[in-house]
Amino acid sequence: MVRLLKQFGLACALVLLAALPAAAEQQSTHLTPQLLSTYAKTKFTPTAEKLKIAQAEKDCLTKAVYHEARGEPEAGQWAVAQVILNRVKYAKYPNTVCGVVYQNADKPNRCQFSFACDGKSDVGGNGNRIVRVSWVKAGLIANYAYKQFQQQKSVNLLPDTTLFYHAKRVQPKWASAYQEVKQIGEHIFYTPL
């Protein structure tokens, strides 16, 4: 019986091996000029353009971390970056970092982040050593957080549903509609109920 199974198994394996090249040939799609043209028109983004977009996204995230949390403990800076990246993934908000950071910046008192519509330059790091170090630190946090985001990973400081925060010194009306998840430094972070 064992001998029969071995022979039958060997025979099946030989048939399968003989069929593999034919199956592989049928499934392979040859790259044709038409296929490449279609791909280029619908899905292709040149690497230089992807790098330019990524740099702009990191720059927007750096500005937000710097202006929103430079005086906060490091965990607070990471948390601000995470809230912004969480919003990018959430359908209610723009699907880019710059879109989230500058959402409603063209409408008086309607921007999501106050620095985005205060009329002042958003570029930071100009000034004394502390200011310059804060700008560099914000850039390092933004670069790493954005890299995690590109790899579909999270900073993991807050739940991925954390979409809101405010400074402790203010009590916005909207806060009561959300669940507080954490206080870090002078900020309180929230998630939808």
What pLDDT sits at residue 128? 83
- The span from the CA of 140 to the CA of 171, in Å, is 31
Q: pLDDT class for 21, splitting at 50, 70, 90?
A: low
Mean pLDDT, rounded, of the chain? 86
Give the pLDDT of residue 146.
97
pLDDT over threshold 80, residue 164 = yes
Share of the chain above pLDDT 70, in %: 85
> Which range scores top for mean pLDDT: 13-22, 23-32, 35-44?
35-44
Strand partners, 183: 188
Beta bridge partners of 165: 189
Say if residues 124 and 61 touch (Cβ distance below 8 Å).
Answer: no
Phi, psi (deg, nearest 5) at residue 94:
-60, 155
Which residue, 119, 147, 120, 129, is CA-closest to 57? 147
Residue 154 has pLDDT above 70, yes or no: yes
Q: Which domains does the chain have, with CATH numbers?
A: 48-156 (1.10.10.2520)
Q: Report pLDDT for 143.
A: 97
* Rg of the chain (C-alpha set): 26
Looking at residue 29, what is its pLDDT?
64
Q: Is the pTM above the cut of 0.75?
A: yes
More confident of the two residues 121 and 141: 141
Q: Indicate if the pLDDT at residue 159 is higher than 80.
A: yes
Long-range contacts from 29-36, C-beta under 8 angstroms, 24+ separation: none
Strand partners, 167: 187
Phi, psi of 90 (to 5 degrees): -95, 130
How confident is the model over 32-73, as pLDDT tens digits? 888 777 777 777 788 899 999 999 999 999 999 999 999 999
> pLDDT at residue 97 above 90?
yes
